[in-house]
Structure 1
């Protein structure tokens, strides 16, 4: 028997668990980042516990536009069977409060603490000094002083620059060849690949909302009912 040169990957599902949020296959081209020995390439960007429980992503990046709350972190970590990076402030929340939230997230099992882009260097230092998990600092502009973020304690740069993400990643990678970079991949496989080729080690993927997913499911149910009705005529 001739063995294919393409690596065969067996896949197991079941009749009840074959419907999940799938990460675009092109993400596999990323190098990944090793967190405590585990290589992670794809991070699903959501706080929806139903989606977190039903995805093939390597990990979760749980950041939301409210003051970070330990109960939210606890709920996500209780449900997730994949590693979680938790938001700990940077926008509305700063200083020692962010550090305390980050420490609590570490104790609950988070593998990293994410600070939003407005986070001052002082807050990054507070968080870095308080925890024993990586500090992820989000960047939204090519004008950001990356060196100051690294000097303050950033272990990973998370680029979220919309349509400019690949450009920002490329600029960071030119100067900082070894810093781990996570970046938003955009809506298509082409934009994801562009971001990877620009220098991103891992990709964040924003899934459809629960409402959008359920809309498709309800349409399937309606079509089934229509077929049943037509067969009875």
Structure 2
């Protein structure tokens, strides 16, 4: 498609919403995953309600290194204007507790639940028998039994393999063909995001700057304004 034939996209902005976090444009190259009729290409990785309320990502992925709490899920759903995927444990928090949290999360309105990489396949299987929403299984390395996770009922893989993410995505894609949905961390640059998409990722998880980092830049601007005035 030539530059002349590209579609023009009108944009409406707001003064008060001018400081939103925007996901890298390279993510729009992804095919996306359609979940309950909604096509999702980008997931912002955060549990900060201020960031969740001020970004342009297609969805939220809220996982954190603590025992999952329904109060946290409720708070995120309160401020999110896009589909939400939440962590429900699977490691330290396992067994019936993880299943109960997952069911409650479904009833609260999340689009899917995320289980972490140590989750046993038996737990995924039990969870699948109860839930209607998709189970997203995290894969942290080539040593994770992603075959077993899929066979147990995981409907999406969330690949977070650090520097090995691209090769891991490529291996899974080669094994399961184009139809199995894969979410993956895209890395810090447009180039690494495009490479992850080229490897076979359908959607990209983006880690935004923290509220403290954003505030640091804002305060620098305020100080400069004072100096110049």
TM-score by length of structure 2 reads 0.97
Runs of 4+ in 1 over 6 A off after TM superposition: none
Instruction: Point out the more displaced range, 124-133 or 205-214.
Output: 124-133
Q: How far apart are 1:11 and its partner, in Å?
A: 1.2
Q: How far apart are 1:9 and its partner, in Å?
A: 1.1
Residues of 2 paired with 1:67 and 1:158: CA distance?
19
Aligned residues: 226
Structure 2, gaps ≥5 residues long: none
Structure 1, gaps ≥5 residues long: 229-233
Q: How far apart are 1:139 and its partner, in Å?
A: 0.2
Residues of 2 paired with 1:4 and 1:20: CA distance?
29
Residues of 2 paired with 1:201 and 1:18: CA distance?
29
User: What corresponds to 1:218 in structure 2?
Assistant: 219
Q: Give CA-to-partner distance per residue, 1:91-142, whole Å, 9 cap, x none.
A: 2111211111011111111000000000000111121112110000000011
User: What corresponds to 1:142 in structure 2?
Assistant: 142
- Whether the 8 Å contact between 1:95 and 1:122 is mirrored in structure 2 is no
- Whether the 8 Å contact between 2:117 and 2:144 is mirrored in structure 1 is no
RMSD (Å) for aligned C-alpha atoms = 1.0
Residues of 2 paired with 1:21 and 1:162: CA distance?
23
Q: How far apart are 1:85 and its partner, in Å?
A: 0.3
Residues of 1 paired with 2:108 and 2:4: CA distance?
44
User: What corresponds to 1:12 in structure 2?
Assistant: 12
User: What corresponds to 1:191 in structure 2?
Assistant: 192
Q: How far apart are 1:18 and its partner, in Å?
A: 1.3
- Whether the 8 Å contact between 2:27 and 2:204 is mirrored in structure 1 is yes
Residues of 1 paired with 2:69 and 2:207: CA distance?
22
TM-score by length of structure 1 reads 0.95
- Whether the 8 Å contact between 1:140 and 1:161 is mirrored in structure 2 is yes
- Whether the 8 Å contact between 2:128 and 2:135 is mirrored in structure 1 is yes
**Matched residue of 1:96: which SS?**
helix
Q: How far apart are 1:144 and its partner, in Å?
A: 2.0
Matched, 1:34 2:43: no
